[in-house]
Every structure is written in structure tokens, then in C-alpha cells.
Amino acid sequence: MKITISSDTPEVIAEAARQFIDAIGERRIFAFYGKMGAGKTTFIRAICEGLGVTDPVTSPTFAIVNEYNAQPATQIFHFDFYRIKRLEEAYDIGFEEYLYSGALCLIEWPELVEELLPTDTVNVEIAVQPDGTRIVTLP
């Protein structure tokens, strides 16, 4: 599935997030790949808002993981592994427990923890086109 984000207006991003949410199904773990500035955090914020999160959704760059509660009673874990230096840091925060909790897990910079990701992880690519358009691709 390909979702095109033609501009960075909140309305366009929110519509793209709605399309993504409709495609989630029973899948729980999503690894977001894309270059710095591709819009991973912005898109994850829109997904969380689309799921009913009312707390501010920010990048967990320093905390590594943020927890959000969506309505009705959906738990979301948002990870950002950009700053980890060793795989042991993921173990230290109990990453595997999060993955197998049944909660929705949205992971930025998964390249750094790929060997810990379950085989059913959905890889999501966000690619910036020369005209600034973003293409979000998921299987």
C-alpha cells in the first residue's frame, strides 16, 4: 500500500494517517524507516491523534520510549532509537516486553534494533520525493 502526502498541511497529514490506521488491521508492531527529516515523528503524531490520543505526542529521542493512551483503551508505545549506541540499551528499557505486550508499537530508527524485532513487524518506508511529497509505503 502506498500513501501519498502531497503537502505538510495538518489536513493532508491527518488524511494520510487515517488511511494508515485503516490498513493496520490486527498488526501491532510498525518499524518506520526514512532519512532524517522525512517526517516519521510528524506522521506518528498524526496516527496517534487519529487513534484518539489527547496528550502531546513528541519524539522520544532522549527518553527512548513514550507511552500514550488512545480511546477506547488502546495503549501505544512510541520508540525512537536514534541515540542508542548499543543494543543493550534496548534490553535495558525492556524493549522486548513492550513488543510482546499486545500494545501498538511505533518504532523510529529501527535499524538499530532490527535483530530484536519479531518476524511479523511491519516495515514502513517514508521517502521524500524531489518535489517534497512524501510517499509512505507499507505492505
Contact 100, 77 (CB under 8 A): no
Determine the Cα–Cα distance for residues 42 and 48; give it in Å rounded to an integer.
Answer: 10
Are residues 104 and 76 in contact, defined by beta-carbon separation less than 8 angstroms?
yes
Domains of the chain by start residue, with CATH: 2-137 (3.40.50.300)
The count of C-alpha atoms lying within 13 angstroms of the C-alpha of 139, restricted to the half-sphere facing its C-beta, is 8
pLDDT at 72 over 80: no
Backbone φ/ψ region at 15: left (φ over 0), alpha (ψ -120 to 50), beta: alpha
In the chain, helix, strand, coil percent, each to 5? Answer: 30, 25, 40
Give mean pLDDT, residues 76-91: 94
Note the pLDDT tens digit of each residue in 20-47. Answer: 999 999 999 999 999 999 999 999 999 9
CA angle 123, 128, 132 (to 5 degrees): 150
- 71: pLDDT strictly greater than 80: no
Identify residue 67 by its one-letter amino acid code.
E
pLDDT digits (tens, 9 = 90+) for 7-19: 888 899 999 999 9
Instruction: Evaluate if residue 95 carries a pLDDT over 80.
Output: yes
Per-residue pLDDT at 128 exceeds 90: yes
On the question of pLDDT at 136 being above 90, the answer is yes
Residue 139 pLDDT: 85
pLDDT at 74 over 90: no
**Given this model, what pLDDT does residue 135 score?**
93
The predicted structure's pLDDT at residue 75: 94
